[in-house]
Amino acid sequence: MSKVEIGEGSVHKSVLLNEVIEGLNFKAKSIFIDGTFGGGGHSSEICKKYPNVKILAIDQDKNAWKKAQSKFKGLDCDISFHNSNFRDLEKVLNTEKIEKVDGVLLDLGLSSDQLENSGRGFSFMKQEPLLMTMKENPKAEDLTAQDIVNTWSEENLADIIYGYGEERFSRRIAKGIVDARQKVKIENTFQLVSIIEKSLPSIAKKGRIHPATKTFQALRIAVNDELNTLDMGMQKGFEVLKNGGRIAVISFHSLEDRMVKRFFKVKVDNKEAIFVNKKPIIAGAEELKINPRARSAKLRIIEKII
């Protein structure tokens, strides 16, 4: 197991934990890619139940392992951490000199650690720099949410807020952003929240979700190229599976789930895979009590048969 000094612990609770482990159907000496390591919840539970499984943990955030590795203390676990994006998982396999694996997990969206502790502007509940990048230390050339809201055209802003956030008031919000930035540069989350709230009609502020939710989602997806990354990750993840191996994807919003559903259906229709669960698995009442974040999670799994 990788040796790193114990850091501040992860606060993230992994969703659909038992369902993922059962669905991936581990056997003795299985090789597993945790493509979105996050708080390490899925991997640590797999370590406890299957100590002879080899785990390749991937996360774009360098701090992920430092925060989560205390969960692996005392476990006899063969795990290696790779600071990378799951769209590059073939490079991780090359580093490990492994060709095929038995299981792949992609747990999409934000971890609680990123929302609560990253300081990068993922949450509209905290005043933070408007970055929204998964990279811990973005370079000057890396795209940020601040770049998007201050430089993109009103039409492009409206398109991504509608397309990635499914926000029906996208044009009002885009106009509000462009009008506001002509007076002062938009640099932090609270500035953006205020602009969104002023742009919306009163009826849109009375829903069960925060009025900034969809716009923040859209900007995060755009900054991190999440939909293209998901497509590449699924393609490569399926490609590296052994015959009988399984890929599991947990999605948190309808855009992602539609992509996963479509990709899995194509593989099944082409007789390359079979459904492990034809309908998505969702969290039960007990899990929702302790982890409300799980309410929007959908788990889909297929098994490769070629």
Q: Is the model's pLDDT at 12 over the cut of 70? A: no
Q: How far apart are CA 212 and CA 206, in angstroms?
A: 12
Q: Which residues contact 282 (CB under 8 A, 6 or more apart)?
A: 297, 298, 299
Q: How far apart are CA 245 and CA 259, in angstroms?
A: 20
What's the distance, CA 95 to chain centroid? 23
Q: Residue 209 is which amino acid?
A: I
Placement of tokens 């082409």 in the chain: 270
Two tokens at 138?
């973005």
Q: How far apart are CA 247 and CA 237, in angstroms?
A: 7
CB 248 within 8 A of CB 281: no
* Cα–Cα distances in angstroms (integers) from residue 100 to residues 3, 25, 90, 199, in the given order: 26, 16, 10, 51
Quote the pLDDT of residue 115.
65
CB 61 within 8 A of CB 39: no
Q: What is the pLDDT of residues 83-140, one digit of tens each?
A: 999 999 999 999 999 999 999 999 996 766 666 667 889 999 999 999 999 887 778 8
The domains of the chain, with CATH numbers, are 17-113+226-304 (3.40.50.150), 119-224 (1.10.150.170)
Q: What is the pLDDT of residues 241-285, one digit of tens each?
A: 999 999 999 999 999 999 999 999 999 999 999 999 999 999 988
Instruction: Look up residue 269 and give its DSSP letter.
Output: H
Q: What is the pLDDT of residues 141-165, one digit of tens each?
A: 999 999 999 999 999 999 999 999 9
